[in-house]
Amino acid sequence: MRYFLLFLISINILYADGVMRCEDYKQISKDITGRSPPLNMMIQTIKEYRFPEKISKKDEAFKKLSGIESLVEKRVDLVVLWNSSGDYSNLSNKLHKVNIDSCAIGLDSIYSYVEGYRTLGKIMNKEDRANELSSYIDEKLKSIKEIKKSIPVQKRSSVYYARSTNGLESDCEDSVHSEVIGLVGATNPVKCNKIKNMHVNIDLEKLLLLNPDVIITANKHFFKKVFKENKYRYLKAVKEKRVYLIPTRPINWIDNPPSFFKILGALWLGQKLYPDHYKYDLENEKKYFFKLFLQQGAL
C-alpha cells in the first residue's frame, strides 16, 4: 500500500505526458526561457523588462523557443513549457539529453496566471515582483466577477470574434482565444462541443443565422469593409454600429497570442458592452497596467 501511495504522489507532480509541473520544480533558475511567446512575455514582466511600443512575437525577448543548440550556447538551464495543444513530452526528452531542465505550466485561462506568476516567481527567485503581478490580476478578476453577477441574464450580449479579412474565421465558445467574451458576462455564439482551442471557419449564411449583438475584431481590413459591403448589412451588429476594433498596441488585448493582456482586454470589452456596469476610467487603467507590467510610463 505504501508503494502504491508513493506511485500516486509521483504521478501527481507530472502532467499526463510525464513532464514535471512547474509548481513542483524546486530549483532556482539563473537563465529561464519559455516555449511560447505568452510565456516569454510573462517571464519578461517578472524581470521588469521595458517592453517596446509595439510587441512582435518575433522579438528576441518574446519569440518561440529557438533551436536546442542555441539554448545550449546561451546556457539556458530551464525551459518552461506551455502551448494550447499541450504536447510537451517530445521536447522535454530532447532537452533532458543536453542537460536542460523543463517543466510545464498551464495557462489555458487568465485565471491560471494568478498561480502561474507565483510559481515562476519562486523559480526565478523574484517572488515579491511576481506576487505583485499575481495580486493585480487576482484583484481585477474578482472585480470583473462581481460586475458580471450584476448584469441581468436577459441583457447579456452575444459577441462574435471575427478573426479573418472576411470575418468568417472565429474561435469556439470554450477556446483559450475567446475567453474574454465569457469573462465579462457575454456569450460566444460559436458552439463547438468538445473542440476548445481550435479556430473554426463558418460561411456567411451561418454568420447571418448567428446574428450576434456585437462583433469584435483585430483585423483592420474586415473592420473597414464590414460597414461597406452589402453582404454584411443584415447583421444586427452592423445595423446598430456595434462592431468594435480590438486594441492592438502594444499587442492584441484579447488574443494572438492569448496572454496576461486579457485582463486589459476584459476591461475594454466590458466597458464597450455594459458601460453602466463597468464604470471606471479605462485610460487610467491602461496607464497603470502599462507601468506595472510593461515598465512604460509612471505609476
Q: Where in the chain is the domain with CATH 3.40.50.1980?
A: 2-142, 150-294
Per-residue pLDDT tens digits of the chain, which is 299 residues long:
443 343 333 334 455 457 899 999 999 999 999 998 999 999 999 999 999 999 887 788 888 887 899 999 999 999 999 865 566 888 899 999 999 999 999 898 999 999 999 999 999 999 999 999 999 999 999 999 999 999 999 999 999 999 999 999 999 998 999 999 999 999 999 998 766 557 899 999 999 999 999 999 999 999 999 999 999 999 999 999 999 999 999 999 999 999 999 999 999 999 999 999 999 899 999 999 999 999 997 65
Rounded CA gap, 183 and 285, in Å?
18
CA 50 to chain centre: 20
Amino acid 261 reads F
Among the four given CATH numbers 2.30.40.10, 3.60.40.10, 3.40.50.1100, 3.40.50.1980, the one describing domain 2-142: 3.40.50.1980
Supply φ then ψ for residue 104, to 5 degrees: -110, 145
Domain covering 150-294 assigned CATH 3.90.1150.10 in the classification: no
- Its pTM stands at 0.90
Give which of 208, 253, 227, 189 is closest to 41, Cα–Cα.
253
**3 state SS of 33:** strand
Return d(Cα 248, Cα 254) in angstroms, integer: 9
Identity of the amino acid at 277 = H
